Amino acid sequence: MDFVNWCELNHLQVNASKTKEMVIDFSRKPSSDIAPVNIQGLDIERWSAGEGGALSGTRRGFNRLIKRASSVCGCPLDSIEVMGERRALAKLSTIMDNTSHPLHQTVGALSSSFSNRLRHPRCRKERFHRPLRRRGP
């Protein structure tokens, strides 16, 4: 079952005009012939790599704003990274609890049989196992 059908079955409405597609391709020569995703008759805009770099600047801006708001309110506020991690864990938890969710089996396959922790997915490319090393002298 695909995502759009799942949303319709669960009475959720996908706003295709606010949806973006992000392609992650680790190949040496990224293929540009990937057809765009089409939802409800609209081709979904692809998020370019150039926009990804802009995200780090946006994150710094949000963290500055949070720091300023924290000083104005007089109470500590969490950074974007902390909030993002907390929300991601909450979303994973709801996916694992909902057996009809399309990602339930995928996420469930990552859970450890010894604890409630999620394992990191296995990587088949040897280059991703090695730590990043700084080039040069």
41 pLDDT above the threshold of 50: yes
Comparing 23 with 96, the larger pLDDT belongs to 96
Task: Write down the mean pLDDT value for the chain.
Answer: 76
- Max alpha carbon distance in the chain (Å)? 58
Report CA dihedral (77, 56, 86, 17) to the nearest 10 degrees: 110
pLDDT of residue 126: 55
pLDDT of residue 2: 78
Which phi and psi angles does 39 have, rounded to 5°?
-125, 125
- The answer to whether 44 and 16 are in contact (CB under 8 A) is yes
